[in-house]
Structure 1
């Protein structure tokens, strides 16, 4: 009888992950990450935030844009599914720096900033 190594899918593992190493050069997610961090002006998103004097910290628009645009590129449009991907998918974890925005935060961001999101695409055309 063959002797195979034992395995157990129900086991847990603690793994140290460098998120930037998960974004391999030449991939769409790497390009999206670098484009948003280095070339896109996100000031249009900052106007509605009024929490500098107090209140809860908000998710950085760069993080939300990365996960939303990556999800849409993959055909994922449900904010609940995007939240789930941020919890379980290593590329989403890398793009979000392991943050998991609640699906209502994701949906609110998309519906609150249609003009600012459109400006991102206009900026991409100029890069």
Structure 2
């Protein structure tokens, strides 16, 4: 028996269980947008929209101070994105940089807030200290 086989047959006979079939390796014609995976009334949407509004009102300018304006050097993660990660983490009771970094890789809400970017725990920790 092939363990990757998702059919309901075992050695020529029907299985008694009636499970919905699923395939973790399902290919999609077009990649799904992460926006479609997050509900409109979710905490992640609220945090994202609130931080975007604060940034448009230039209330996050203090976070930009440590970055070069001349474009030299390796591109940094956007401070607005890192603020979203921290605010979301504080909102759900997660303050550990390592847990937030893991969440950026594994949780849909944080993937939405980071646009699928995955800052490591040191980046999050260093940003918090600044």
**Which of 119, 123, 126 is matched with 1:101 structurally?**
119
Pair 1:47-2:47 in alignment: no
Displacement after TM superposition at 1:4 (Å): 3.0
Richer in helix (by share): 1
2:49 maps to 34
RMSD: 2.3
TM-score, structure 2 normalization: 0.73
TM-score, structure 1 normalization: 0.74
Matches of residues 33-112 of structure 1 in structure 2 within 5 Å?
33-40=48-55, 41=58, 42-50=60-68, 52-112=70-130
Displacement after TM superposition at 1:3 (Å): 4.2
Number of residue equivalences: 111
Partners of 2:87 and 2:37 lie apart in 1 by: 17
1:123 maps to none
Give structure 2 stretches of 5+ with no counterpart.
1-14
Q: 1:2 to 1:20 in 2, by over 3 A?
A: same
Greater shift, 24-33 or 84-93, is seen at 24-33
For residues 16-63 of structure 1, the C-alpha deviation after alignment (integer angstroms, 9 at most, x for no partner) is: 331222332222211111111123422111111126341010111111
1:120 maps to none
Partners of 1:92 and 1:84 lie apart in 2 by: 9
